[in-house]
Structure 1
Amino acid sequence: MRVAVVGGGPGGLATLKYLATAHQFFPGMKPIEVKLFEAEDKIGGTFRYRTYEEGELVSSKFLTCFSDLRASINEPQFMKVSRYLEYLEEYCNRFDLFRHMHLSTRVVSITRQGKGHVIRYQPTAGGDEEDWSCDAVSICSGLHVKPELPTIPGLDKVPVVFHSSEFKSREQFGKDKTVVILGVGETSMDISYLAVTAPTKRVVVCHRSGWSNAPKFLPETDFLPFLSSKSSIRDPFKDSTGIPIDVAYGTIFDTAYVHPILRDSMFQWHFHNYVFGGSLPWVMTGTFLAWDQWVGRPQHANHHAARAIFNKSNRAMPYINAPFRRVGQGPLSERIRAKIFNTPCIDTAGRVIDVTSWPTHIDETGRMHFLANGSPEYERMKDDIVRPDVVILATGYRKEFPFLAAQDAIAAAAAERTKTGTSPPAPDRRPYARPETANVRHIWARDDPTVAFIGFLRPTVGAIPPVAEMQAMLWVVNMVQRFEPTATIPGLVAGKNRLPALRARDQWHYMLLRDAKDRVRDVIDHDSYVYQLACDMDCAPSITDLVQISWQRGWKRGWNILPCWALVSQINTKFRLRGPWAWDGAADVVHGELWTIIERKGSVIGIFLQTAFPFAVFGFMNLLCWIYATVLGLFGIEAVGPYTPVDEVDDDKESR
């Protein structure tokens, strides 16, 4: 088998690793001949070429690191981007991946040839184009490559305008300048913080429809603050030993061991929305909007856990909140709450980040005008005169695949000839799919499984690299069973040596309910998605499996395997305990590293609200669903939950 990988970011590296090592896991198959093509001269993708001063990951080391190369216990909870690049280099060296790479090599086109594909590539520095034929292609070119540039009349009147992908350091703000940043994603928040802590005159952030703030990890919170000797003016994150929120929640009965009726309902979404999205932020910070967020309310449709993309870059929030924060003021309920709980806040020394609506235009005098949307932030700013010296477009990216254009042209010409009756349809004249039409677990198209799109889903609270790793694991197993019929795939469905049917009805529950008009639509719940892929590969351990593993390891090295599996988020190493990709070191990681996560749940929030309370509620609801389904089953009636198909395919058709 020959396979091409396009892109040298984390998703491409994970895919390359599983392709290059597949023969070590599946007896009876030959090593896969694999080549990775990367246009830049180094690996790392957007982490290397589109990062900036003080760049830090918003996902924790526990979740972000790949399953079989874990970060040191002494590593900070959140890696600096520079350290993460070193980690990726270590990953490549550990698994001898560099020998498969063609760096500084641009993929010119990918076209079909019979049942396979032809990769046409060229050295970035110039030279002759060459072709390489292969059986399958994994496209891992990334979400953050081609900037999305808005059209704003009069923008050319601003002296300095550039996209956030070009931002590198505070020096680009200049001195005593008015800086306007368009967009409220995590990059915007990072840049806003750098701007307000630089010698700028003014910093303004503009948003279209609000955002939802969430802390990267639980900050230090004072219980009965009037009894505490600590000042309420301090950084709540500086000395906090809180647990990162992306690994904070237990999974048993939430994303694992969930009855299909409950899984396919909105109950769990509503629970998370009202408990963790509203009540808990109010109790701890005084606002129902989001965690310590006093302005920038999302539009109504997206102000729900089932729709919101959470922003975990928090350093700018104290400066944004400053004009609006009213802790301990107003209604009696708020004054009582503030006497019981208080989350401290830093002293902004009079600096603020002004927030307002999206600009409509810039007039002849250079004044920026904003959309009158009636929001509190607009009302505060509507009479201000804002003449930006620097505008930074933190407006995201769009997906483009120029190397697929050649096949699109071939397909269009063939379709025209077929329409006129001059040429019959042929398999090698079809266009390629795109990520949004990859209708099998959002990885490959049902009728074109040899082309995968890895790393194009965005988790709302999670990380793309571990999602890409799980996608690669599933796709590679699918390719092995397709091209290597003599290979033995351990752990699959009672020795049938095939993946279970990948049903469409198991697909929608992990997707967020985004509208067609939303710019970012392919958003997932991280834990639900990776657990679904684990079930698809038959590598999600059962309670029986976990008890057996614990017994084999003995009490000292195995007593905590089950609680670590149940009470920590879906970290990929859990799915290396058994199944096709079983790894000998997985149990040690679960026993050691994952236990340190549980040890951090030492607070009321960590133990009760994030663990015991959801466990009790979801456990009870699962029990009710099981009783209901069992009773109906006695009468020969199948109990199914609400089901919304995600595509037009037959739900019962298997995806291979």
Structure 2
Amino acid sequence: MSSPLPKRASTLIVGGGPAGLVSLRYVVEYGERWSEGEEPLLVEMEAEIGGTFRWRGYENAELVSSKQLTCFSDFRYPLDAPDHPSLPDYVKYLNSYVSHFNLTPYIHTATKLLSLSKVPSPTDGFKHSAKLQLIDSISKQPIGQPICILAKRVIITTGLHVTPNIPIIPGLNSKPSSPNAPEWIHSSEYKSRPQVRDKEVLVLGCGETGMDVAYESIMAPSKRVWMGVRTGFLSFPKVLNNFRVFGTTFDGNLPIDGLITNLFETAYVHPWVSASHIRWFISDAIIKRVLWFLTGTEAGCNQWAGQLPLERQGRAYVFLNKSAKAMPFINRPFYSLSPIHKFFAHYIEDQSYTQNPEKKIDIVPFPKAFDAQTGQAIFDPPPEHRKKETAWKREVCKPDLVVFCTGYQQEWGWLGDEEYPRGPDECDIRGVTSEKDLSVAFIGFVRPGVGAIPPIAEMQIQLFLRLSHSKIPIPTSPETYHLLHSPTSRIQYGVDHSTYMSTLAKDIGSAPSLKQLWKEYGWFVLFVYCFGAAFPTFYRLTGPYKSDQAQKIVETELWETIKRRGVIGNIFMGVIPMSFYALVNLSAYILEIVWTLVAPLLGLPETPLFSIDTTQPKIKIKTM
């Protein structure tokens, strides 16, 4: 910490992860000017910045979203860097971001926010009172007495991954504890392979961390690995390659989060098409058929077990699980591709699988209890759509170690005043802020089905600054970007990355029109924008946050993401989908014109019934 805490802050930012850092950068560069002694302040309770990427990572962990999509709009990774950097490398990137934009003077680490409350009847705009506590970075003990500061605005960026979510399982972690219960840890405590080496490991949870821990257990090596799965998951590799088609191996090395195109997918989409989500359903149907041809199964990419119910498989419903290294070991008991099918097309497994011919990961249901006498896991049968998974009843599951890869939950107890929204679920403006109080924002609290949170956070802080400075009206367009989660799902805060980014860009005034791009930048930038994914740099070509660097980034790095698809890839991933969606949107525009002309004559409502209810439930972040 380079200087004492100020008594006042024009903006207080809570959390030093990517969302907090990009928020600080925008506040410093684009926020209101402040008087001396009232500069912006970012507080981070840990000794260093980096958030989850710094403090809850583990050995061999990598980003599952590509560098092209994950890094910020005008501060990019080198072109020759790996597409999916390691977590330590990403933390280095964040530190470089801080240095590049000279943010260090505004950052105070080892400083914990204890409580936040409203100032009664403020007369000078400083309406928030924050109680802060300095923390010893080694002992984690408080230093001195709490310090109170006042702030005009508060931006909460504490993230989705702080407080471990640990379900109570009788006989394992319930009270009183069983003397024969296996050892257990949460994934936040897992750091390296020695923790699982030579043990029988039960991994609970089938998200990306669960997949990583299961794979790391296989490679440690452990003696045995099980994975407890509730409903199921949708597996995709983070890089599209390793397909053998008609005797030719496709090794395009394409990050899948950069394959969705803009034109008619997020740009120039008719409101009826957007509200109906028809483009999601169509793309899901097509992808399933392609997956069946390439890998023999529609449940996921080369996924033969742990599948979701048929009606919930697809982009519209869930987060893709892009940690696929464990999948061959999960598939081993179930893989059944016929020789004829394999002759035409199949997925090539990596060497870690072929070099471990006896290793497997057994899929079991999520345990309902552990036997108090034996320490054996007790299961109910899996759901009907996964009835072929029988390891739970054929073999005894008596682990030495249980790893809870069950995610995290959010706690808002430190929001002491009832006037504050209790998280983004109470923020009625894009899950970012509330119409009741535009001086408070929650940044980085939505999760994309395919994509990355940091660029979303960058767009969210842009929106918040425009709103809190009264530069734009409160958005009223329908929220058609929410994933269609099951009502019983624990996680309800998913969004479609492209649709959400495009919605925020339109709110901000930075979504470029095709004519505007062509007139200002020419056909090349226009082409890259149409064929590219929803990269944040596209939304800095125009609008209030226009960047001088955007054109060069589009013409080099973002063009490279399109070029590496090749001609055939761009035809199948670009031209054909865009042509089809163009037809769908054109049909909607024609139908709208016809309806507008005919409806009054027939006494029908001016708005078609199927387009009236266009809103989805607000973002929900449940706690357990």
Whether TM-score is above 0.5 comes out as: yes
Match of residue 549 from structure 2: 585
The 3-state SS of whatever aligns with 2:390 is helix
Match of residue 122 from structure 1: 133
Is the contact between residue 61 and residue 71 of structure 1 (CA under 8 Å) also seen in structure 2? yes
Match of residue 297 from structure 1: 307
Return 285-294 or 301-310, whichever deviates more: 301-310
Is the contact between residue 295 and residue 376 of structure 1 (CA under 8 Å) also seen in structure 2? no
* Change in 2 beyond 3 A, CA 1:477/1:501: closer
* Change in 2 beyond 3 A, CA 1:629/1:438: same
Letter in 2 for 1:630: I
1:371 to 380, 402, 418: 380
1:67 to 67, 70, 73: 73
Match of residue 447 from structure 1: 436
Match of residue 238 from structure 2: 216
Is the contact between residue 12 and residue 42 of structure 2 (CA under 8 Å) also seen in structure 1? yes
Match of residue 246 from structure 1: 257
Is the contact between residue 11 and residue 454 of structure 1 (CA under 8 Å) also seen in structure 2? yes
Matched-pair identity in %: 34
**What is the CA deviation profile of residues 571-613 of structure 1, one whole-angstrom value per residue up to 9, with x for unaligned ones?**
0000111111111010111111111011111164x32332122
* Change in 2 beyond 3 A, CA 1:30/1:257: farther
RMSD: 2.0
Match of residue 596 from structure 1: 560
Shift, 1:401, TM fit: 2.2
**What is the CA deviation profile of residues 377-408 of structure 1, one whole-angstrom value per residue up to 9, with x for unaligned ones?**
5324312111100110001000112321x224
Shift, 1:138, TM fit: 0.5
**What is the CA deviation profile of residues 507-563 of structure 1, one whole-angstrom value per residue up to 9, with x for unaligned ones?**
1x1001113321111100001001100000110111111112224xxxxxxx41011
The count of corresponding residues between Structure 1 and Structure 2 is 578
Shift, 1:204, TM fit: 0.4
Is the contact between residue 64 and residue 465 of structure 1 (CA under 8 Å) also seen in structure 2? yes
Is the contact between residue 317 and residue 484 of structure 2 (CA under 8 Å) also seen in structure 1? yes
The 3-state SS of whatever aligns with 2:115 is strand
Letter in 2 for 1:463: A
Match of residue 202 from structure 1: 224
2:516 is aligned with 1:570: no
Shift, 1:158, TM fit: 3.0
Match of residue 510 from structure 2: 539
Return 4-13 or 215-224, whichever deviates more: 215-224
Shift, 1:372, TM fit: 1.1
Match of residue 490 from structure 2: 519
Is the contact between residue 146 and residue 398 of structure 1 (CA under 8 Å) also seen in structure 2? yes
Match of residue 107 from structure 2: 101
**What is the CA deviation profile of residues 70-122 of structure 1, one whole-angstrom value per residue up to 9, with x for unaligned ones?**
11110001111110000000000011111101110010110001361111101
Is the contact between residue 421 and residue 434 of structure 2 (CA under 8 Å) also seen in structure 1? no
CA distance in 2 between partners of 1:632 and 1:199 (Å):
65
1:362 to 359, 366, 370: 370
Match of residue 472 from structure 2: 499
> Please, what TM-score do these two structures have when normalized by structure 2?
0.89
Is the contact between residue 356 and residue 377 of structure 1 (CA under 8 Å) also seen in structure 2? no
CA distance in 1 between partners of 2:441 and 2:448 (Å):
18
Is the contact between residue 261 and residue 642 of structure 1 (CA under 8 Å) also seen in structure 2? no
> Please, what TM-score do these two structures have when normalized by structure 1?
0.85
Match of residue 477 from structure 1: 466
The 3-state SS of whatever aligns with 1:510 is coil
Letter in 1 for 2:181: V
CA distance in 2 between partners of 1:563 and 1:603 (Å):
14
Letter in 2 for 1:22: Y
Match of residue 7 from structure 1: 15
Is the contact between residue 301 and residue 307 of structure 1 (CA under 8 Å) also seen in structure 2? no
Match of residue 193 from structure 1: 215
Shift, 1:301, TM fit: 5.0
Shift, 1:60, TM fit: 0.1
Is the contact between residue 568 and residue 598 of structure 1 (CA under 8 Å) also seen in structure 2? yes
- Return 5+ residue gaps in structure 1 as ranges: 231-235, 330-334, 409-429, 482-497, 552-558, 649-656
The 3-state SS of whatever aligns with 1:143 is coil
Letter in 2 for 1:511: H
Letter in 1 for 2:349: C
Is the contact between residue 510 and residue 540 of structure 2 (CA under 8 Å) also seen in structure 1? yes
The 3-state SS of whatever aligns with 2:276 is coil
Is the contact between residue 261 and residue 625 of structure 1 (CA under 8 Å) also seen in structure 2? yes
Is the contact between residue 433 and residue 445 of structure 1 (CA under 8 Å) also seen in structure 2? no
The 3-state SS of whatever aligns with 1:264 is helix
Is the contact between residue 433 and residue 440 of structure 2 (CA under 8 Å) also seen in structure 1? yes
**What is the CA deviation profile of residues 3-25 of structure 1, one whole-angstrom value per residue up to 9, with x for unaligned ones?**
100000000001111001115xx
